[in-house]
Amino acid sequence: MSFVNENQLVSEFNELNISDKDSISLKITNHKNCYDPDNKKFWCKGCVPRCIIEGWTSGNDDIDNFIKDTIYNAGSYGYPIFLEWVPFDRFENLKQIGEGGFAKVYSATWIDGRAEYYKEDDGSWIKKEPKPIEVALKRLNGSQNMSADFLNELKMHWRLYWIANNSLKFYGMTKDTKTKEFMMIMKLVDGGNLRNILLSDFNNIMWDRKLAYLSNIAMDLKNLHSLGFIHKDFHSGNILGGLYISDFGLSGPSNEQKSDNKIFGVLPYGRIINWKSPFHNRNHDNNLALEICNGLRPKFGKGTPEIYIKLAHKCMNANPNQRPTAKELRKILKCWCYFSNHEKYEYKGFEEANNEIPNILNSYEKNLNDIYTSRAFTFKNLSKPINSSFIATSYLSEEDNEDCQDSQLIDLEVPNTLKFEEHWLTI
């Protein structure tokens, strides 16, 4: 019979991170170099607290691996941030607050709230006391068998949140015990989507607030594009609180084209703040889609500043390479926010446009065949989109109508003398 050295046995046992003490406090040893919060490093796979990585499962290997990857590569907002798997019975007071083409959204109380861990001087990780918070639960229709599109939404949303803490917060995942559909746990945003905000409070939303909405949206788009992805389902129903872009299920690389002839999204252009609902007096069908490809564009409300109309038409250029980038839009819109009536830079007309806002709302008539949820359109031999002759001659430069790579923001440049910090624009 062989005997094992007692000190060696104790040392090997301690390295297993097994303890009869409360798992909320867990001592980590021999991994000093793993802790570098300034560079978003808190632990490695060997020293991550076992109570975070073990003792749970979603029942789906793809979801489990995705959540564990966010734990191993936790971000940092003063403490490690990662996704959690949360049992469905840890939520109460569920109430449906929205529905789109691919999901239903509920408000709920998360009884335990988000897990926050802090490292003690002795190397142990301490979990902050649980605190209930209000959250949004997004139930992904038909997600019992997690498809590539659903998993893509989870990954894209997490990547955006990881690089930009001013994007929509993504806390974790759960599963409806009745339907077996997966649900995303996210920040609950006051006011709902941008479409609902505009319809419910249009008369009180002045142009300074509209420009602030647009600037924040451009910031989120800029961050998404910095990852090399585009949204592909961008409309006012997918913009929450006028601040956050959501619904990334169809997002993909900017150079990737679908081969199934399907186009997803809301047919009319998303509301661009001061319009009536685009094409509100038309059926939203294939005929309208074809007319848009042939140069049809929405009309603007009375009093809309001419400089804004010019920028909007550039954004709707039939040639994608001639549209402003999200970075350029962010820069222009921030400038308008702070100098909207500054004669030196000729950014005039926004104050006068405020007087026309009640007239725009009063003239709105909704067509019962309007559809404002995402859906698929299938086309065969779709013609190449063009600009209308009126828009091309009135609002676009000669370069804008050429097939070149760089957008030409003629007469919309931001003075080089203006410097802004990103945190200046908050609403």
Give the type of residue at 74: A
List strand residue ranges (DSSP E) for 176-219, in order. 182-187
Give the type of residue at 375: R
- The whole-angstrom separation of Cα 411 and Cα 394 is 13
CB 156 within 8 A of CB 229: yes
DSSP-derived letter for residue 329 is H
Record the tokens describing residue 234, joined without a space.
């961008």
Name the burial class of residue 402, with classes exposed (0-12), middle (13-18) and buried (19+) by CB atoms within 10 angstroms of its CB: exposed
Beta bridge partners of 103: 140
CB 216 within 8 A of CB 422: no
Residue 175 makes CB contacts below 8 A (sequence gap 6+) with: 58, 59, 88, 181, 182, 183
Buried-state track 235-272, b at ≥16 Cβ within 10 A, e below 16: bbbbbbbbbbbbbbbbbbeeeeeeeeeebbbbbbbbbb
Count, residues in the chain: 427
How many other C-beta atoms can be found within 10 angstroms of the C-beta atom of residue 25? 15
DSSP-derived letter for residue 411 is T
To the question of whether residue 128 is assigned a binding role by annotation, the answer is: yes
Q: How far is CA 77 from CA 42, 66, 124, in A?
A: 12, 20, 19
At 175, phi and psi to the nearest 5?
-140, 130
How many other C-beta atoms can be found within 10 angstroms of the C-beta atom of residue 168? 21
In 3D space, the residue among 195, 188, 203 whose CA is nearest the CA of residue 239 turns out to be: 195
Give the type of residue at 134: E
- The whole-angstrom separation of Cα 354 and Cα 340 is 12
- The whole-angstrom separation of Cα 142 and Cα 64 is 18
- Which residues does the annotation place in the binding site for ATP? 128
- Which residues does the annotation place in the binding site? 128
